């Protein structure tokens, strides 16, 4: 009972200090000096000079959960102060009306630091700043920061100092045994920190830094809010542990996909651009405006993702290129069984922009200005959009898109002179997904017409002059749902693939036809139409998806001979289609899924020759895994030969880890599966996921 009362008194004291400081403390500034040890076993030490204003003389307290190591200087005089419940108490008699200045030396507890042997990052969210240095550890007291870092020999650092007041949670620094490269872009000096082991190809670094600077400039132009920090840094650190570390004022590039292999596809280049753009946008949506609670992170991430898509879209030479890549990534994933909320959110934001128009940009600007260096939630943004377009019922739009699970079914037919589009929700959900998409109508002599459908209500009726021969729903791929037709129109969908010239429309048609195959409305014979269409295909994205669909149809065959025949038909496309991106798509799919002995022999010859310019190092590694599994008598020789071909230690380390899943010993594979399932973090996590997939697909 005594202990409970003591804990209650402790919480009451902490809450009281927060309230008192909120009322009387202003104009806070921190001048911080840190001495960073070279060993992670040693404690961080430093000195802090904290200045602040008070309108009255009053008791005051600093928060600190480390150790003080020297004298306390209060308003230029040495004082004896007491420590109590994680606070340093400054009595009223030592404070002043107006400016107060406190100087202390300290030793940190290190709990707010992410530390490895060769670098250190800060984590100051959730009240952890006071574990590192004495401060007013509350988000509503904004402050300016000046940082002095005393580093071990050979270390470099960058901090998020700001001459404009910002939340303590946004302050950060990172230091380590980094190499540094500075460059100037559009009048702004940027500093890049990186380790050699994180640079897959040093020649790509200037391109990455140029894209980072371009993204910064775009965000400033679109939002109307300047970049707020004194320095501009780019951190390239491909340690998976660093992905959870927020370092405001620093564009953190922790994903290895930021570096592409020798002959990157257009899709891989776009992915790199989106990674850079997203991390840049988080400086505004995530740092400049911070989440009110942990559960509010998703909303700001969604806005940062939307900004990234707009950036990449505007930098693409062709609008169609962007639309196709958006369809093949976010849109397609959002409608899959494993789709993430980030993908669904990206689709939702495009439809919200359709609803709000140019006012959406205004809403984003007002949101940033209203919550500048303040916490906010998704509903705060929606309220602003609703105010700017009051007649569009944005709240209902938000309730459906954010809160409702599942996909609507959108059925299209022709009846009595009308094109009828009917949206029905998943069973048991009285919801309606407001959206826009195109429908293509085909008439005699290949005459055609495109109808733009704006579904502001569950049923849309459009008057037509005559009945079309074919109807292609969701022609531009922007729609969200299962798109179906009556049987007569459904059967004609596969026949339209070969004669649809536009890449975007052809890809959207592939998705619609395959969705109808999965529901049994299109028979498996559809495979033949797909194969014929892909003989002359020029787009690697279209080929990749068509091959995925063909392999699924092959795998659905109940008889082994039938599956092997269809696998061979897919492989035969290599003799018909010579385009590098298309060949790459075919071989990559077969290297993970083929079971036919004849196809495996063909893959073995491709792997053995090792001269196909469409393939990269990881492609040949993947071939080796498949061949070792499918040819158990040659297992060791195949893996040994592939390992000898690898040119760097990182590839060998990855190969040694993943190739264990190719073992011919069933008991060893079971043990490995249990081990792999426990790996949730670190460099080995993506390797573990890959190995588990190999075990699953044997």
List pLDDT tens digits, range 471-498: 999 999 999 999 999 998 999 999 999 9
Q: Which residues contact 498 (CB under 8 A, 6 or more apart)?
A: 529, 532, 533
Residue 243 is predicted with a pLDDT of 47
Band (191; pLDDT cuts 50, 70, 90): confident
* pLDDT > 90 in the chain, percent: 62
Residue 311 lies in a domain: yes
Is 575 contained in some domain? no
Pick the last residue of a domain from 139, 156, 176. Answer: 176
> Average of pLDDT values for 95-103?
97
In a domain, 182, yes or no: no
pTM reported for the whole predicted model = 0.81
Backbone phi and psi for residue 144, each to the nearest 5 degrees, phi listed first: -95, 160
- Strand 143-150 vs strand 26-35: parallel, antiparallel, or unpaired? parallel
| Residues 164 and 295 both lie in one domain | no
Return the minimum-mean-pLDDT range out of 38-47, 192-201, 299-308, 506-515: 192-201
Residue 363 lies in a domain: yes
The answer to whether residues 356 and 343 touch, using CB atoms and an 8 Å cutoff, is no
Q: Does one domain contain both 295 and 170?
A: no
Q: Beta-strand (E) ranges in 86-187?
A: 87-90, 98-107, 113-115, 119-122, 143-150, 156-159, 173-176, 179-185
**pLDDT for 140-181, tens place per residue?**
888 999 999 999 999 998 888 777 788 887 888 889 888 888
In a domain, 252, yes or no: no
Q: What pairing do the DSSP bridges indicate for beta strands 409-415 and 482-485?
A: parallel
Total domain count for the chain? Answer: 3
21-75 tens-digit pLDDT: 999 999 999 999 999 998 888 999 999 999 999 999 999 999 999 999 989 999 9
- The answer to whether residue 680 is domain-embedded is yes
Range of the domain at 60: 1-176
Q: Is residue 340 part of a domain?
A: yes
* Cβ within 8 Å of residue 282, ≥6 positions away: 300, 301, 304
235-283 per-position pLDDT tens digit: 877 665 554 445 566 777 765 667 666 666 677 777 888 888 988 998 8
**Domain end: 384, 403, 422, which one?**
403
Residue 64 belongs to domain with CATH number: 2.60.40.1730
Same-domain pairing of 297 and 167:
no
How many Cβ atoms from other residues are within 10 Å of residue 381's Cβ?
24
Classify residue 372 as exposed, middle or buried by CB count within 10 Å of its CB (0-12, 13-18, 19+): middle
Domain assignment present for 489: no
User: End of a domain among 176, 205, 240?
Assistant: 176
pLDDT tens digit sequence for 83-93: 888 999 999 99
Instruction: Say whether both 2 and 139 belong to one domain.
Output: yes
> How many residues would you count in the chain?
698
Pick the residue with more confidence: 520 or 273?
520
pLDDT in tens, 633-673: 999 999 999 999 998 888 999 999 999 999 999 999 999 99
């Amino acid at each position: 009972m005594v202990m409970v009362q003591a804990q209650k008194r402790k919480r009451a004291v902490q809450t009281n200090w927060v309230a008192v400081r909120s009322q009387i403390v202003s104009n806070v500034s921190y001048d911080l000096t840190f001495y960073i040890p070279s060993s992670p076993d040693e404690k961080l030490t430093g000195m802090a000079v904290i200045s602040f204003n008070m309108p009255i003389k009053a008791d005051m307290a600093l928060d600190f959960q480390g150790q003080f190591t020297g004298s306390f200087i209060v308003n230029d005089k040495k004082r004896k102060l007491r420590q109590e419940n994680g606070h340093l108490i400054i009595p009223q008699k030592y404070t002043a009306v107006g400016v107060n200045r406190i100087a202390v030396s300290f030793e940190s507890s290190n709990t707010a630091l992410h530390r490895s042997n060769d670098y250190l990052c800060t984590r100051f969210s959730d009240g952890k700043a006071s574990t590192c240095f004495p401060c007013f550890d509350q988000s509503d007291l904004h402050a300016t920061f000046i940082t002095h870092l005393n580093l071990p020999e050979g270390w470099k650092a960058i901090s998020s100092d700001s001459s404009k007041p910002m939340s303590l949670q946004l302050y950060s620094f990172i230091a380590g045994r980094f190499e540094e490269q500075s460059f100037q872009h559009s009048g702004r000096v940027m500093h890049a920190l990186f380790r050699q082991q994180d640079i897959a190809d040093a020649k790509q670094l200037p391109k990455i830094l140029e894209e980072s600077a371009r993204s910064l400039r775009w965000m400033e132009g679109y939002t109307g809010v300047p970049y707020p920090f004194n320095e501009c840094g780019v951190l390239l650190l491909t340690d998976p542990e660093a992905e959870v570390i927020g370092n405001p004022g620093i564009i953190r590039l922790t994903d290895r996909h930021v570096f592409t292999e020798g002959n990157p596809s257009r899709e891989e280049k776009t992915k790199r651009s989106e990674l850079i753009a997203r991390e840049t946008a988080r400086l505004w949506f995530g740092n400049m405006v911070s989440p009110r609670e942990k559960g509010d992170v998703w909303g700001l991430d969604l806005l940062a993702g939307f900004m990234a898509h707009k950036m990449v879209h505007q930098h693409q030479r062709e609008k169609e290129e962007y639309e196709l890549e958006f369809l093949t990534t976010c849109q397609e994933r959002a409608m899959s069984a494993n789709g993430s909320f980030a993908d669904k959110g990206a689709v939702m934001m495009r439809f919200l922009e359709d609803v709000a128009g140019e006012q959406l940009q205004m809403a984003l600007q007002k949101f940033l200005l209203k919550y500048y260096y303040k916490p906010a939630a998704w509903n705060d943004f929606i309220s602003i959009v609703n105010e700017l377009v009051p007649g569009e019922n944005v709240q209902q739009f938000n309730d459906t898109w954010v809160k409702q699970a599942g996909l609507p079914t959108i059925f299209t037919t022709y009846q009595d002179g009308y094109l009828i589009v009917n949206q029905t929700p998943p069973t048991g959900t009285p919801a309606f997904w407001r959206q826009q998409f195109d429908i293509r109508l085909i008439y005699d002599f290949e005459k055609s017409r495109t109808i733009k459908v704006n579904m502001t209500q569950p049923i849309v009726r459009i008057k037509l002059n005559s009945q079309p021969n074919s109807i292609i729903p969701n022609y531009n791929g922007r729609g969200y749902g299962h798109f179906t037709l009556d049987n007569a129109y459904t059967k004609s969908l596969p026949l339209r693939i070969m004669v649809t010239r536009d890449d975007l429309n052809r890809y959207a048609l592939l998705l619609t036809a395959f969705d109808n195959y999965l529901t049994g409305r299109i028979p498996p014979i559809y495979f033949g139409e797909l194969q014929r269409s892909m003989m002359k295909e020029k787009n690697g994205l279209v080929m990749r998806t068509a091959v995925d669909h063909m392999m699924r149809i092959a795998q659905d065959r109940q008889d082994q001979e039938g599956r092997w025949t269809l696998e061979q038909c897919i492989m035969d496309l290599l003799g018909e289609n010579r385009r590098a991106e298309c060949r790459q798509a075919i071989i990559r799919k077969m290297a993970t899924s083929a079971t036919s002995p004849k196809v495996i022999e063909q893959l073995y010859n491709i792997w053995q020759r090792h001269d196909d310019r469409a393939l990269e190092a990881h492609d040949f590694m993947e071939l080796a895994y498949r061949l070792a599994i499918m040819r158990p008598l040659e297992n060791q020789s195949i893996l040994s030969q592939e390992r000898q071909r690898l040119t760097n230690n990182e590839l060998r380390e990855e190969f040694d880890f993943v190739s264990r899943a190719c073992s011919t010993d069933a008991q060893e594979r079971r043990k490995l599966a249990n081990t792999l399932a426990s790996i949730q973090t670190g460099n080995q996590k993506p390797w573990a996921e890959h190995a588990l997939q190999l075990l699953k697909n044997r």
